[in-house]
Amino acid sequence: MRIWMTGLAILLFVGGALFFALGPQRTTSITLTFHAKMGDDPLIFDEFVYDNPGGSGTFRVRDFRFYLSNLTLSQDGALFAEPDSYHLLRFDNPETIHSIRLNDIPLRSIEHVRFMIGVDPEANGSIQVRGDLDPNSQMAWNWEVGYKFVVMEGTLRIGEEVSPLVYHVGFSENAREVDIQLPPDIGSDGNADLHVNVDLAKLFGGPSQIDLQKLSSVKFNREDAAMLADNYATMMTPMFR
């Protein structure tokens, strides 16, 4: 009995020593704030204030939204993947921002933030409701195509002529990954705050410059959709404060 009690005492002592040495598992929280911009300035809706980047005329933006999915955070090889990570980002608010808050992430800090513009192929071909994915929403097509990844609608004015602009970009191959590396001082206190500029101008003036008069609508044309996808892959820029 004495030997058993002595062994138990040693075990409890060692366990207690390890607990106090290691301490409780530290967690981190992060807020991702996306700022809709046109170039360097906040995005303005419903006003003819933007020049056609590839031709004549001015255009206004009526609607701009997109899916952000597969959000993962990492630190020193440790990875946290947000469950049901499908967010529909909208900017029709006075601040033209959209924020995502994640609490109690089991990482001591955050070095990389990775996500996808669009929806992964598995979810894109599913009718399961996950996160902000809803097969009955206006962001869904039929299941041969799946979801609309990026939507921008507006109007182009050339002289007295006004014509609609409709860009609904989908198809699984047009999902684009974004990887942001955070400076070491962000999140060191366990609460990270990351701001990201979303430059809508890059949708039409990225690797390919678009004349909105010649290409006023993109929906089911895979070649045009891929061109816009390569453009929107460049529209995210971290803004470290």
User: Sorting pLDDT into bands at 50, 70 and 90, what band is 14?
Assistant: very low
User: Sorting pLDDT into bands at 50, 70 and 90, what band is 4?
Assistant: very low
- Measure Cα distances from 205 to 45, 51, 55, 75, 150 in Å: 19, 11, 12, 34, 16
In percent, the amount of the chain with pLDDT more than 90 equals 78
- Give the separation between CA 90 and CA 65, rounded to whole angstroms: 5
The H or E element containing residue 201 is: helix 201-205
Please determine, for residue 65, whether its predicted confidence score (pLDDT) is greater than 50.
yes
* Matching residue, tokens 């895979």: 222
- Measure Cα distances from 160 to 53, 57, 157, 216 in Å: 19, 10, 7, 17
pTM above 0.95, yes or no: no
Contact (Cβ atoms closer than 8 angstroms) between residue 143 and residue 150: no
Strand partners for 199: 37
pLDDT tens column, 168-221: 999 999 999 999 999 887 777 888 899 999 999 999 998 999 999 999 999 999
- Give the separation between CA 22 and CA 99, rounded to whole angstroms: 33
Specify the pLDDT at position 3. Answer: 46
Please determine, for residue 9, whether its predicted confidence score (pLDDT) is greater than 50.
no
Contact (Cβ atoms closer than 8 angstroms) between residue 171 and residue 215: no
Specify the pLDDT at position 240. Answer: 81
Specify the pLDDT at position 241. Answer: 67
Region 82-89: mean pLDDT is 97
- Give the separation between CA 149 and CA 87, rounded to whole angstroms: 11
Q: How many residues in total does the chain contain?
A: 241
pLDDT tens column, 119-150: 999 999 999 999 999 999 999 987 678 999 99
